[in-house]
Chains A and B, each alone.
Chain A
């Protein structure tokens, strides 16, 4: 009769263990998990003088250069980029206005997005800062993430031959990501 005592207790103990439960929780909330980092990343920079124009030719008014930007159309960016905000800062100490264009192209050189920035003339001892913010979202993001290279063109409003001063470009992009399952 005595041996039934521990048997009953053991039975209760094992039952107790299996009675443990998880409640007041909702694992379907994983559907609502959104990781939304905001990433600041330098973009393009350059520092040009009149010599940069004349290296191409006397009275040359246009500079152009191209770089790949492969991560713009990679799968992660296409899936998760919600918004991109480009910030451009041009410091001009040349007495000439410029027009700066950023063309976002794909492999077939088809343009998907264009940013145009007017740059005001400055003076050697009194450089003028031109700032531009380009906020891209919704359809703009779809277009932007179809591109994988950037062409930067700078067009002077008049000849820059033998002018002193520089045109300094600094830029960054703020990427707003939204990562969901």
Chain B
């Protein structure tokens, strides 16, 4: 009883704060000076039509490197937590067969979903989307595959190789930026090219593709760890 009253009191307190924030909020009419700089000079400095991408990959590229590192850390901790002893993986079987609709649909959809993910991260500097979104879509195709076939084993060696190679190349491109251009993760190590074309904006398509591959393989790794635990529970 006291607990419920306390919960309601906390929520009511927060709600009053929110109401006063709400009444005093008005969207501004003009951009902040920093955003104005990005809007006016982003095209000459970075050459990407998608300004969010130029902020993420070039202006705040170090942030993105940290973000990818955190994702890697999460994947590592999850696989440490959920380590399974794969003794006899053949004998365990799901309680129920997968329905035919999901089986057929996943066979049809999986390649399409994967191509969509690759499209999203390759075109990250031109259209909405980018490495993180594309990587998540690629991982979705693995979810579909796991739903259709719960015994499916993702090849950990391939995933680990893709993940480490793309991570190391990301840092390597960043260091190349110090040597050949203005600083760490500068995208001008390649020519900026024609504005709005696929091969433009310097190193951004390469960096974002690497981020996409890395995110996709990390998310698939986390998924396959959770799936491994599920298989273990079937056995018991």
User: A and B: real partners?
Assistant: no
Binding site for B on A (CB under 8 A): none
**B interface residues (Cβ-Cβ under 8 A, vs A):** none
